[in-house]
Structure 1
Amino acid sequence: MSFTLNKGELAAIVGVNGIGKSTLLRTLCGFQPELMGSVHINGDELNTIEPQYLAQQISVVLTETMASKNMSVKELLALGRQPYTNWLGSLSKKDISVIADSVSLMELTPFLNKKCFELSDGQLQRVMIARALVQDTSIILLDEPTTHLDLYHKVQIFKLLKSIAHKTNKTVLFTSHEIELAIQLCDKMLILDGQTNPFEQPCKLIANNCFDTLFPSDTISFDAVTGSFKIKK
């Protein structure tokens, strides 16, 4: 596979279970070495970038449970400034301003003093995305950001991610099983099919019949007109 992401774009990695979506995302952020090939950020090869500088370029939101949910929302958000603070972790006026902007964008003011364990899944996910925003990177990577959320909150998160990409000119890439929502909201999509792994705008992927063979045809078919999957009864 070969693909390029630009600033201000929302992109999704989709595919069946076990195809390698999370593996690819972890490779892109340097959490595990490449199986082959290379990853470049602004022309620099990923494995040559110093960790602190890399933390100023990429922020990551994973599906793993937090190490401690006893932190307040305010404390968790402040950790996002770690790549920029001194060894004491003191927050400057700029740090506080960046945190305030992220809180405003994600509408988290009512939750600042709450402990993370007091939040619903949807609220906590918004906090984790806000922490990534506080890190102030040009690239945000998210692994299954809508897991365990109902349809309304899935749509809410996806629309927030699109707004973040377009309004702040950041590159936002996420893995997801929510293919139909991604088709409606993403600028680009990468379909991991184990063969050609096409990467394009959703409308072009539909025109090229790229979704037609994603699932067994005797069970699920893709309707190009509505951009949705149909179950064969």
Structure 2
Amino acid sequence: MKHSALDVSDLSIGYKSISICDNINFQLQKGELTAIVGINGIGKSTLLRTLGNFQPKISGSIKINSKDLEDYDPLTLASKISVVLTEPIASKNLTVQEIIALGRHPYTNWLGKLSSNDLLKITAAIEMLELTNLKHQKCHELSDGQLQRVLIARAFAQDTDMILLDEPTSHLDLYHKVQILKLLQSIAHHTQKTILFTSHEIEMAIQLCDKMVILDGAKNPFEQPCTLIKNKAFERLFPSDTVTFDSAMGAFRIQK
């Protein structure tokens, strides 16, 4: 029997006892790129933070490789899941290579000494994200797009089965949004990592993702993009007098 890399069942998320989204159910497999989409305030980032164990769930079940999330100790969980949040990095005075090396923290000894294997993982991440020419630059010298690639490289260097990213394309222009999402797709498909990210780029996600979770506060459908289109799931996202979804084109249209 094939086990899911991530299994979310009857999940309710929110803060303390106040739920902001209920009835969340989906299962992800290795090698899949999946987007979480929905309107502002519906709980996309809260869901991602809950899955990464940065805040507690209200109810329901989250299983990583068939084991409950809360049963993992922090160090073991850090070897299973890497997370890229929207918070700024602690020190932009570090070099690109130094930031990426931080991804090896779960595997180093108490002195933080890097082994030959750690160095190989760091080099592989730098090459995968095409950062070789930037590895000695300070992070404050980078563009937003370059810094985003550095943070993804840090997560890749952590060498986890799953990578969670909160709005990885925010503040980027169209070209760099596409570049980042195609890169994530390539990493998922070629390294068999499970990658889950939140996004407002719904049309790009439809074109590039294997699966999508639509947080709508009700059924929260989860499926392949083509199935979601067929089931008219995107047409219920926004008020129809403002924005409509063209299922033939897989795109939104502004009502004039």
TM exceeding 0.5 = yes
Classify the secondary structure of the residue corresponding to 2:140: helix
The answer to whether the aligner puts 1:15 opposite 2:38 as a matched pair is yes
**What is the percentage of aligned positions where both structures have the same residue?**
66
CA shift, 1:20, in A, is 0.3
1:178 aligns with 2:201: yes
Q: Please tell me whether residue 100 in structure 1 is matched to residue 123 in structure 2.
A: yes
- Mapped partners of 2:190, 2:131: distance in 1: 18
Q: Residues 1-233 of structure 1 correspond to what in structure 2 (within 5 A)?
A: 1-233=24-256
TM-score, with length taken from structure 2: 0.90
Structure 2: how far apart are the matches of 1:180 and 1:44? 34
Instruction: Give how far 1:54 is off.
Output: 0.2
AA aligned opposite 1:8: G
Structure 2 letter corresponding to 1:191: I
**Cα shift at 1:207:** 0.3
Q: Secondary structure at the match of 2:120?
A: helix
Distance in 1, matches of 2:38 and 2:59, equals 20
Tell me the distance in 1 between the aligned counterparts of 2:78 and 2:110. Answer: 15
Gaps of at least 5 residues in structure 2 are: 1-23
After TM superposition, what 4+ stretches of structure 1 lie above 4 angstroms from structure 2?
none
**C-alpha root-mean-square deviation of aligned residues, in Å?**
0.5
| Amino acid in the other structure paired with 1:183 | I
Gaps of 5+ in 1: none
SS state at 2:104 partner: coil
Higher RCO (C-alpha under 8 Å, 6+ residues apart): 1
Q: Per the alignment, in what secondary structure is the counterpart of residue 11 of structure 1?
A: strand
Q: Secondary structure of 1:81's partner?
A: helix
Give, in angstroms, the shift of residue 49 of structure 1: 0.3
Deviations 1:121-145 (A, max 9, x none): 0000000000000000000000000
Amino acid at match of 1:100: T
SS at match of 1:59: strand
Task: Give the number of the structure whose residues are more often strand, by fraction.
Answer: 2
Q: Work out the CA distance in 1 between the residues paired with 2:51 and 2:69.
A: 8
CA distance in 1, matches of 2:59, 2:38: 20
Structure-1-length-normalised TM-score: 0.99
Amino acid at match of 1:179: I
Take 1:35 and 1:157, find their aligned partners in 2: how far apart are those partners? 32
Q: How many angstroms apart in 2 are the aligned matches of 1:183 and 1:171? A: 17
1:226 match: secondary structure: coil
Alignment size in residue pairs: 233
Whole-angstrom distance in 2 between the partners of 1:125 and 1:57: 21
Report deviation, 1:66. Answer: 1.2
Code of the aligned partner of 1:97: L
Q: Structure 2 CA distance, aligned partners of 1:113 and 1:101?
A: 16
Q: Which residue of 1 aligns with 2:21?
A: none
Counterpart of 1:124 in 2: which secondary structure?
A: helix
Amino acid at match of 1:80: G
Q: State the Cα distance separating 1:48 from its structure 2 match.
A: 1.0
Residue 199 of structure 2 aligns with an amino acid whose one-letter code is: S
